[in-house]
Structure 1
Amino acid sequence: MTREILLLAHTGRRDAVDAAVTVAHRLHSAGLRPVMLERDIASLSHVIGERMRDIPLGVAERDVPLSRCEVGMVLGGDGSILRAADLVRGAGLPLMGVNLGHVGFLAESERTELDASVQWVVDQNYTVERRMALDVQVWHAGRHVGSSWALNEASIEKQSRERMIDLIIEIDGRPVSAFGCDGVVMATPTGSTAYAFSAGGPVVWPEVQALVMVPISAHALFSRPLVADPDSIMAVEVLQREDEQGVLWCDGRRFMELPPGSRVEVTRSAEPVLLARVHQTPFSERLVDKFNLPTTGWRGPVDPANQVESSETVHQGEASQR
């Protein structure tokens, strides 16, 4: 049976279009079948004409179920990977990102590694990493009015630029604080380097299982970022003091209006996002590379073979032998 690979590209960018053509040809040459969305095939055809005419592309969700694909290759930036995660949710499909954007925290490789990325897929030379996602539930006047999910964050924001929104934050059914602010971000460790990071939140290593809550420009003495247990329930309520509307955004893509009295509850989702990984680069190194952090002067750990015992250590050793 032919192996099928989902190929997702930011078709509004010329470099992503060219990369998609290259990847499709190389997958086909290796005996694999590229699969694309019907709208992406149409967009590519409009830009590149007949350059992919000889490739028997599969059409995702029409003749190839997403669940039948082996892995999804995403050509673009973090935004493209977030869109891909939304598309494949429920299909159990790991995503391998090739960064054609700016930061590319979620991507596994850069544009200079395009050929290598194809070969990793051909050789099945990758592991699957499970990233925590958020389950988001919205209530109003005692009624459940909506559901969503997020890989990075769920953010509650003010609707009017000129006014603050009054919110109360809650962890595990207990209120923590209330204040006027521009909003509140509730994030996963993956999202800690995105919106939550910009709002002054902590950087959380992806291996850490935790939930993060970060107020945005709160007019309050206590508005510190909070790190909670991964099984906690984080909640934010929109108070009715000023009749101010709010907006819920999930990963900056899906939104819902929040009238006064709305309540947003966020928990760890039972369904993680799957990322295909090849590099075993420590997160600290990725952090330095992506944010171009200054590390000049770093000498590194001391070689144990080059350490000298202090007189105190020697005396302690002698005493233990008496």
Structure 2
Amino acid sequence: MTGSALVVHHSGRPEAVAAAAEAVAALEAAGMTPVHEEELAQVSDLAVVIVLGGDGTILRAAELTHGTDVPLLGVNLGHVGFLAESEREDIGEAVRRLASGQYDVEERRTVEVRVLRPDGEVEVGWALNEATVEKSDRARMVEVVVEVDGRPLSSFGCDGVVMSTATGSTAHAFSAGGPVVWPDVDAMLLVPVSAHALFARPLVVGPTSVLAVEILARSMSDAVLTCDGRRRIDLPTGTRVEVRRSDVPVRLARMSHAPFTDRLVSRFALPVSGWRGRGVNGSRQRGDARAEDGGLG
């Protein structure tokens, strides 16, 4: 591969600055032109984006590439780092493989988010991980009614409601008690947060479903919509938020074919010692189910 590669990192973290310098040197050695964010003119002209950091930095880079064919390669400098493909010590090898075309591109589904205000104003956003409706007053719950496919399901007071992609199931939705959904499952999740209701369980719906949350007029608190923890929209009472599958994916550079199970074990340091499974030839085998390397959740 030739061309330009954008290097995205957290400029306030010394480790990220050092990793960015290493990535720049590796790109130059591989015959590619490194570009920093302040130098970026046209995203679509890039061959790839290399992201050095945790999930928040990778989500910031996804904002830059959204709507283009430019793939992202995440290098984990965070803790859990589900949105990363490689680890810090693998930067040089990752760049070499990028430059030689030794990678696949995986498309991850996003969601389209529509905000319909009582005055008729409509705002449109998107998310790779999740769209979250949360109370804006810390001392009060927000009263909502949730809807699936145009039909009301339940109303309750809560701290919020997370509407997530399968990719985002290991992020905010997971911390709110939602299930882990394998990333190749074409589905969306709805997870209430601290809901005061008998029926307020996490829901998993199909790819053609439409999720909606309405802020009820009786609510003692307004709300705020947050997409991927980054983009915020205020939601006065009476506002309706609709979430549906988008046809615009985020493209990820993938260098490992390790199964998601191994990535999950690696990221959460799950105990698997003593496991005895069957190998590909049907024989019993021993060992840990540790991931070959990091990956995207």
TM-score, normalization by structure 1: 0.85
User: How far apart are residue 162 of structure 1 and its match?
Assistant: 1.2
Match of 1:240 in 2: 217
Q: Does 1:118 align with 2:81?
A: no
Higher helix share: 1
CA contact (8 A) 2:2 2:99 kept: no
1:52-101: CA deviation from partner (whole Å, max 9, x where unpaired): xxxxxxx211xxx2111111100111111000000111222100000011
Distance 2:98 2:275 in 1: 36
Segments of 4+ in structure 1 off by > 6 A?
Answer: none
Distance 1:66 1:74 in 2: 14
Match of 2:22 in 1: 22
Aligned-residue RMSD, C-alpha: 1.5
Distance 1:60 1:143 in 2: 37
Q: Does 1:259 align with 2:219?
A: no
Q: Which stretches in structure 1 are left out of the alignment for 5+ residues?
A: 39-58, 307-322
Q: 1:264 to 1:2 in 2, by over 3 A?
A: same
Q: Does 1:162 align with 2:139?
A: yes
Query: What secondary structure, in the 3-state scheme, does the structure 2 residue paired with 1:300 have?
Result: strand
Distance 1:26 1:242 in 2: 55
Query: What secondary structure, in the 3-state scheme, does the structure 2 residue paired with 1:113 have?
Result: helix
Match of 2:7 in 1: 7
Out of 40, 44, 52, which is 1:60 matched to?
40
Q: Which stretches in structure 2 are left out of the alignment for 5+ residues?
A: 285-297
Q: 1:305 to 1:192 in 2, by over 3 A?
A: closer
Out of 188, 205, 209, which is 2:165 matched to?
188
CA contact (8 A) 2:30 2:95 kept: no
CA contact (8 A) 1:137 1:144 kept: no
Match of 2:292 in 1: none
Match of 2:73 in 1: 96
Find the structure with the greater CA-based Rg. Answer: 1
Query: What secondary structure, in the 3-state scheme, does the structure 1 residue paired with 2:243 have?
Result: strand
Identity %: 54
Distance 2:219 2:168 in 1: 31
User: How far apart are residue 144 of structure 1 and its match?
Assistant: 3.3
User: How far apart are residue 35 of structure 1 and its match?
Assistant: 1.4
User: How far apart are residue 245 of structure 1 and its match?
Assistant: 0.4
Distance 1:85 1:182 in 2: 27
**What is the identity, as a one-letter code, of the residue corresponding to 2:192?**
P
User: How far apart are residue 242 of structure 1 and its match?
Assistant: 3.3
Distance 2:232 2:50 in 1: 26
User: How far apart are residue 25 of structure 1 and its match?
Assistant: 1.6
Q: 1:305 to 1:187 in 2, by over 3 A?
A: closer
Q: Which has the higher contact order (CA 8 A, sep 6+)?
A: 2
